Amino acid sequence: MSRSALFRERVAADPDNPLFRFSLGQALLAEGAAVEALEHLRRAAVSKSDWMAPRILLGKALLAIDRRDEARLAFEDALQLAVGQGHEDPEAELRALLAGL
C-alpha cells in the first residue's frame, strides 16, 4: 500500500485531523500529485497558525505546478515562522527557494 493510500484511509476516517491531512499532502507531493496535495496541505496549514511544515510543502506544491506568486506567499509565510521559531535549516532552505523565484 502506498503512503498516500494509507493516509487517504486515515483522512476518510477522520477528515478533520490536520496531521492526517498534512501526511496525505506530503505523500501526494512526493508521488508527483502536486495538484491533489494542495487541498490537504492548505487545510493542515490553516489548522495551526504556527505550523511551518505544511506551509513549506504548500509552497513546493504550488511551485511544482508553476503557481509562483502563490508559492512565494507560502514560502514567505513559512519563512516568518522559521525565523520566529529559530529553525535555521528551514530558514536557509526557504531563503534559497525564495531567491530562486
Range(s) of the domain holding residue 30: 3-99
**Cα angle, residue 19 at apex, residues 16 and 20 outer, rounded to 5°:** 70
**Separation of alpha carbons 82 and 64, rounded Å:** 22
Write out pLDDT tens, residues 34-89. 999 999 999 999 999 999 999 999 999 999 999 999 999 999 999 999 999 999 99
Let me know how many helices (H) and strands (E) the chain has, helices first: 6, 0
pLDDT at 48: 96
pLDDT at 37: 98
Structural domain count of the chain: 1
**Separation of alpha carbons 2 and 8, rounded Å:** 10
The CATH number assigned to the domain holding 76 equals: 1.25.40.10
**Cα angle, residue 56 at apex, residues 58 and 30 outer, rounded to 5°:** 65
Write out pLDDT tens, residues 14-33. 999 999 999 999 999 999 99
pLDDT at 1: 87
Q: What are the grid coordinates assigned to 54, written together?
A: 505544511
Measured from the Cβ of residue 24, the count of other Cβ atoms closer than 10 Å reads: 28
